[in-house]
Structure 1
Amino acid sequence: MPSRLSYVWLSLRRGLGSRAAAEALRAFGSPDALYAADRKMLATAPCGLCKAQVDALCDKDTAEAERIIGECAERGIQIITAGDSAYPDRLRAIADPPMVLYVRGRWPDFDVTPGIAVVGTREATAYGLQTAESIGTALARAGFITVSGMALGNDGAAHRGALRAGGLTVAVLAGGVDVCYPPRHRGLMGDILLSGAVVSEYPPGTEPKGAHYHDRNRIISGLSVASVIVEAADYRSGALITARHALDQGRDVYAVPGALDAPQSKACNELIEKGEAALLRSPQALVRAYNGLLRVPPAARRAEQTPRRQADMRPAAPGREAGSGGNKQEPPAKTGQKQAPTALPETLRGEERRIAELVQQGVSTPEELIERCGLPAPRVMALVTMLEVDGVLRREKGRLVMGGR
């Protein structure tokens, strides 16, 4: 039997549970071997299955799995199993990974581009909405994937922030990927599908219900290197459940502090007070903390480490910038009066210094920087963001200029 069919069959075993399914899969080595196992083999397996779980695995009917696979093929819904290379390693590493992911849209490579979860309450304050959106924007500009649950309030704001910055965002749903909930987020879901993806462990047509939300939160945190809790009122908050999952998975948790008397910030303040979450002072702190996880292809890294060509070391001809290779550069943005070039901080090294030098020479847009330095776009955007935070660069009328420090 094809492995995909075995995985879908396994994911549909009622009463088994994702943790028991993962443990059984590890015990038998493959979904095909698990499907072929008889009652005696299942009952004596080292994973310690109970009778109800053995009964579930003894049901070898694949009709429902075959129907779902056929329906997904007809509707363009991607099925990613735990055995596929497209399945994220971080999600596979949790104790109870979903056996199958159903995906619509453009599924990103989480093993190359890290995801950071941004979640919160549906009853968000204006402060919370603005904060969630700014975090989504900063993560997108730096090249991270913003992961959230497409719920009302903070979740939706985080998705919108990433989308407005032209970045990647992924929504994890508590129902089928063809079921938009809440209905008023139909437009947001459409926007996410244009540049990112919606994902669920539930087959198409599944309506969201209470228990599903708890389970989907482990996927939100499992896909991510860290989870940010923007607002959460109490222990019943879905965002707080996401934080608990992240802590259980050994992932980092951040909380946005709020006013002492703000109900929506009560759980966030408590997480910080107990030392279970780090206090998030700014979105740029996340960029700095995880910037090293943005992978740079070896060829680009070698190019960065290669000394400049001898031709680039010659004095520039009149009207040309040094290192331009003979191509005339765009003039720097006018600042009202001519100033001497700003000296770069001695602490700048490697890629950051190269970016700053290019801006100093007159390169003033991210697109030009990407073309000139040979680094991947997400890496360039992350470096620019960090240089802006440090005051080395700033934006003036949409163009990058030296910050004057």
Structure 2
Amino acid sequence: MPRDELAAWLRLLLTPGLGRTTARQLLAAFGLPETIWARPSDSWDGVVESSLAKAMAWPPEGFDAALSAHERWLAQDNARHVITLADPRYPASLLDTADPPLMLFVHGRLDALAHPQRLAVVGSRNPTPQGAQNAAAFAQSLAASGLCIVSGLALGVDGAAHEGALRAGGVTLAVVGTGLDRVYPSRHRDLAHRIVAQGAMLSEYPLGTPPLAQNFPQRNRVIAGLSMGTLVVEAALQSGSLITARLATEQGREVFAIPGSIHSPQSRGCHALIRQGAKLVESAQDVLEELRLADPTPRTDGDPPTQACATEGELLDALGHDPVSLDALLARTGLPTSALQAQLLELELQGVVARLPGGLVQRVAQG
């Protein structure tokens, strides 16, 4: 992007008091940002209040340093991009929402933004162990079926969803609430590097933006807007994931929810969504069928691709009839952890297996 063009858009983004709605009104009235800034400030009075027009007359404090920082960031890596509302590469699904970002800062593969089938996978930052396993297993199976998995890089379900998509060799897109010159949370630094290699990191916030609390609910509208549907894995009743689901509904997108134990607070948000009309799903195939997408590699529901699995009878034999730990089952079956968890989930949903305190599982006596 030429320096003058980058400067004009960045000034629109960084001017204090100039929100996204007013900025889009200026663009609608005058055209590209270069045209806006070339006009005398009194010509903006019909679009913005006179006090704001006066404040807009000069670049904001520190603007030259911010512009130089963005130029250096772009020059360091040819996988770094700035995409504006006027750019033909701007995702059409996001452009169609009520509040599209003015600019998108991208680090990674641009084809993740152009992917025709994107699904958001979101949930609790403090999921149960089963919730984290569900997020990874669903994302892995859906990514293997060709969907781009969109999430927010947060701890818990978000991180598990990105990991699952990467494990499948699929594409994943992380929408973050900070500038792309930092990774939040910091423990996801390695995950962020792997996402850049296999998908993309995306933010509407300029470089230097810290992890401010108000940015994350705003980030959720981008996650929902990029996606054809949103899958909520686990969520408490007061949860940012429910904000994402509500925004997806408002945007006319599908919402899916995985049911859980009636005793778990982390399941109550999903149950509330189901009561409100979200699609109850028990397997990745349920999501694909609802979206009318063919699964090119049918598998046992929830079973991660390319991993060996025991038959249901063999797994039940390994379980026996007494409570057993996951480690003991791993030793008895020789299965990878993710494959065993996926098959146990299927048996649990069928009512054949129950989870017990202490991480134990047990067969349920059939009457």
Distance in 1 separating the partners of 2:73 and 2:307: 48
Name which of structure 1's ranges 70-79 and 253-262 shifts more when overlaid on structure 2.
70-79
- Within the alignment, does 1:280 sit opposite 2:192 as a pair? no
Shift of 1:288: 2.6
Corresponding residue number in structure 1 for 2:243: 241
C-alpha spacing 1:55/1:243, structure 2 compared with 1 (3 Å):
farther
Asked if residue 141 in structure 1 is aligned to residue 144 in structure 2, the reply is: yes
Query: Where do residues 178-327 of structure 1 align in structure 2 (5 Å cutoff)?
Result: 178-235=181-238, 237-275=239-277, 277-291=278-292
Per-residue deviation, 1:39: 3.2
Q: In 2, Cα distance between the equivalents of 1:213 and 1:87?
A: 21
**1: CA distance, partners of 2:81 / 2:28:** 24
Separation of aligned partners in 2, 1:192 and 1:52 = 43
Paired position in structure 1 for 2:19: 17
Kindly provide the amino acid, as one letter, of the partner of residue 88 in structure 1: P
Are 2:112 and 2:171, in contact at CA under 8 Å, matched by a contact in 1?
no
Equivalent residues of 1:116, 1:146 under 8 A apart: yes
Instruction: Give, in whole Å, the separation in 1 of the partners of 2:30 and 2:121.
Output: 36
Normalised TM-score (structure 2): 0.74
1:285 Cα deviation after fit? 2.0
Give the whole-Å Cα distance in 1 for the aligned partners of 2:175 and 2:307: 37
Superposition pairs for residues 86-125 of structure 1, below 5 Å?
86-125=89-128
**Cα drift, residue 69 of structure 1:** 3.4
Deviation at 1:55, TM superposition (A): 4.4
Aligned to 1:58: 57
- What letter is aligned with 2:36? L
- Residues 69-120 of structure 1, C-alpha deviations (whole Å, 9 max, x = no match): 3222333232111211221111112122111111112222534432111011
Gap change, CA 1:109 and 1:224, over 3 Å in 2: same
CA separation in 2, counterparts of 1:82 and 1:100?
Answer: 6
Compute the displacement of 1:202 (Å): 1.6
Q: TM-score, normalised by structure 1?
A: 0.68
Q: Aligned partners of 2:144 and 2:138: how far apart in 1?
A: 10
Aligned to 2:72: 71
* Sequence identity (%): 40
Q: Distance in 2 between matches of 1:74 and 1:58?
A: 29
Q: 1:193 is aligned with what amino acid?
A: V
C-alpha spacing 1:130/1:396, structure 2 compared with 1 (3 Å): closer
Alignment CA distance shift 1:53-1:127 (3 Å): farther
Conserved 8 A contact 1:22-1:95: no
How many Å apart are 1:218 and its aligned residue?
A: 1.1
1:210 match: secondary structure:
coil
Q: CA deviation at 1:51?
A: 4.8
Supply the distance in 2 between the matched residues of 1:52 and 1:71 (Cα, whole angstroms). 33
Residue 172 (1) aligns with residue 184 (2):
no
CA contact (8 A) 2:115 2:148 kept: no
Distance 1:279 1:19, change over 3 A: farther
CA distance in 2, matches of 1:397, 1:280: 24
- The residue that corresponds to 1:305 in the other structure is none
Structure 1's unaligned 5+ residue stretches are: 293-381, 399-405
Alpha-carbon distance in structure 1 between the residues aligned to 2:98 and 2:24: 7
Q: Tell me how far 1:31 sits from its aligned partner.
A: 2.1
In angstroms, what is the RMSD of aligned CA positions?
2.5
Tell me by how many angstroms 1:159 deviates.
0.4
For the residues of structure 2 that align with 1:215 and 1:4, how far apart are their CA atoms? 23
Q: Which segments of 5 or more consecutive residues in structure 2 lack a partner in the other structure?
A: 310-367
Structure (1 or 2) with the larger CA radius of gyration = 1
How far 1:257 sits from its partner (Å)? 1.5
In structure 2, the partner of 1:151 is 154
Once the two structures are TM-superposed, the CA of residue 396 in structure 1 deviates from its matched residue by 9.7
**2:106 match: secondary structure:** strand
What is the alpha-carbon distance in structure 2 between the residues aligned to residue 119 and residue 396 of structure 1? 25
1:81 and 2:80 matched? no
The one-letter amino acid of 1:158's match is A
Deviation at residue 175 of structure 1 after TM alignment = 0.8
Cα-to-partner distance string for 1:214-237 (whole Å, 9 max, x where unaligned): 1111111111111111111123x1
- Tell whether the 8 Å contact from 1:19 to 1:97 is kept in structure 2 after alignment: no
Contact 2:112-2:172 within 8 A present in 1 as well: no
Query: Residue 284 of structure 2 aligns to which amino acid in structure 1?
Result: P
Deviation at 1:50, TM superposition (A): 4.0
Q: Secondary structure at the match of 1:63?
A: helix
